[in-house]
Amino acid sequence: MHTKSWTRIFSVKKLMKDMCECFLDLGSGSTAELNATPPTDPSETHVNVDGSISTEVGFTAAAPEITKLPSTSIGNDPDKQIEQNGFANMESESLPVVSNNHSAADDAEDVAKGQESLKISLVNEVNSECPPSFNYIPRNAVFQNAYVNFSLARIGDDNCCPKCFGDCLTSLKLCLCALQSGGEFAYTTEGLVKEELMDECIKMNRDPEKRCLLYCKECPVERSKNDEILEPCKGHVERSFIKECWLKCGCNKQCGNRVVQRGIKHKLQVFMTAEGKGWGLRTLEDLPKGAFVCEYVGEVLTYSELYNRVSQSSNKNEYAHSMLLDADWGEETELKDEEALCLDATHYGNVARFINHRCYDPNLIEIPVEVENPDRHYYHLAFFTTRKVKAFEELTRDYGINFDDDDDDHLVKAFECKCGSRLCRSIKPSTSKCVLRIYIFFLFFASNL
């Protein structure tokens, strides 16, 4: 324990790396701090809410409501072909619409193509870049090997609240679903995540040093590498779950413990960021703290399926749109391949694929939400606001990237962060901090001579 905390405070490798960066900085006379662009003040942004744009749009036709996606040969081939179930024809016939014609304008008016209860517009007032081509899906869809079984028979009476009626939130007795959300209802009667739960989630996410990590006995991430020697698990952040009422519960559809399953309820817009982060997502209305914004939707893949996609791809940033469903990893002795799941929104996804990263103090946080599946291998990743958010503010989340390390296992590869946070993790240390670190470095070596 003592050694662990000492290595956390003093990492020789990190110190050497910082020193090299500092020497380079001193030589060039520039620091990332000086280069960091502050985020645009939302109040100064001119927004075209009606969705009219001057760009071309390249969205493909939306996927039908399916729970199984066909096998795809997605990889480094830009002309990806979908091989089975006649999807190849559907794709090539409707792909891609890249012109300033009527359907492009329609796409800009509603990125979701009518599949959400609200239209989600798209604007680009910064450059002439076209939005990426992807299939909008409002709900997760299983790709191939992932084991996701929504059978009612799998939900035991202690995994739902069959004896409840009406609205569980207003009932005097705590329902069985609430007991699985840490012993209380996660939501207020206004449909917001309760303050205490939100603050606990923020604390768990904010400081990587204080995160509680769960370790798998045999980690699917390491297993996928197929190396001769299986590396130990690097750990998965422990998270609080929300359990929502569902089909087998006795309450009605309007029950206050059903929020994420109702879908997007606040007006959102995809827009081109001015800071060079590419496309981003913003709210068009003021949001209170704890409000549900959207869930991260994509193809449900096993980790090894995702690993194969990434390793076959020549563009290492292509899979920046994927997230692990690892909140439960490390709880069991051994996780089977088909139970170690992740979401990939690269080719099929929803608006969440546009959410950019902000270090330390983003205005969104992801919380695992259990709706259909009692085993927690599969769950929904839902984004809620961490504070009040003003209309036209960009919505951001912390990807959990450590810009210092060459973290090869992270699905999103490190980029030059332009989040503008005062506590941005990719900002190199200032000259004074640098001098101090050099001093500590020499002290350390002197004391070891």
Ligand X SMILES: C[S@@+](CC[C@H](N)C(=O)[O-])C[C@H]1O[C@@H](n2cnc3c(N)ncnc32)[C@H](O)[C@@H]1O
- The residues binding ligand X (CB under 6 A) are 132, 277-280, 317, 320-321, 353-354, 356-357, 412, 415, 417-419
CB of 12 to ligand X, least distance (A): 29
Question: Which phi and psi (to 5°) does residue 425 adopt?
Answer: -80, -15
**Region of residue 419 (phi > 0: left; psi between -120 and 50: alpha; otherwise: beta):** alpha
> Which residue number, 123 or 155, has a Cβ lying nearer to ligand X?
123
CB of 426 to ligand X, least distance (A): 8
> Which residue number, 380 or 418, has a Cβ lying nearer to ligand X?
418
CB of 70 to ligand X, least distance (A): 24
CB atoms within 10 A of CB 202: 16
**Alpha helix ranges (H) inside 11-159:** 12-28, 32-35, 87-94, 102-109
Distance CA 399, CA 381 (A): 13
> Which residue number, 147 or 403, has a Cβ lying nearer to ligand X?
403
What does the block give as tokens for 164? 């409840």
Distance CA 252, CA 257 (A): 10
What is Dmax (Cα atoms) for the chain?
74
CB of 173 to ligand X, least distance (A): 42
Are 281 and 111 in contact by the 8 Å Cβ rule? The answer is: no
- Return the closest-CA partner of residue 385 out of 245, 277, 298, 286: 286
> Which residue number, 87 or 354, has a Cβ lying nearer to ligand X?
354
What is the three-class DSSP state of 195? helix
CA dihedral 253, 259, 261, 266 (to 10 degrees): 120
> Which residue number, 270 or 335, has a Cβ lying nearer to ligand X?
270
Q: Which residue is at the shortest CB distance from ligand X?
A: 278
DSSP letters for 398-417: -----TTS--TT-SSPP---
CB of 153 to ligand X, least distance (A): 37
- Return the closest-CA partner of residue 377 out of 197, 180, 150: 150
What is the three-class DSSP state of 108? helix
CB of 437 to ligand X, least distance (A): 25
> Which residue number, 72 or 273, has a Cβ lying nearer to ligand X?
273
Distance CA 326, CA 349 (A): 19
Are 70 and 76 in contact by the 8 Å Cβ rule? The answer is: no
Question: Which phi and psi (to 5°) does residue 320 adopt?
Answer: -70, -10
Distance CA 446, CA 77 (A): 54
CB of 324 to ligand X, least distance (A): 14
CB of 129 to ligand X, least distance (A): 8
> Which residue number, 282 or 418, has a Cβ lying nearer to ligand X?
418
CB of 132 to ligand X, least distance (A): 6
Are 271 and 280 in contact by the 8 Å Cβ rule? The answer is: yes
> Which residue number, 258 or 277, has a Cβ lying nearer to ligand X?
277
> Which residue number, 182 or 278, has a Cβ lying nearer to ligand X?
278
CB of 419 to ligand X, least distance (A): 4
> Which residue number, 42 or 374, has a Cβ lying nearer to ligand X?
42
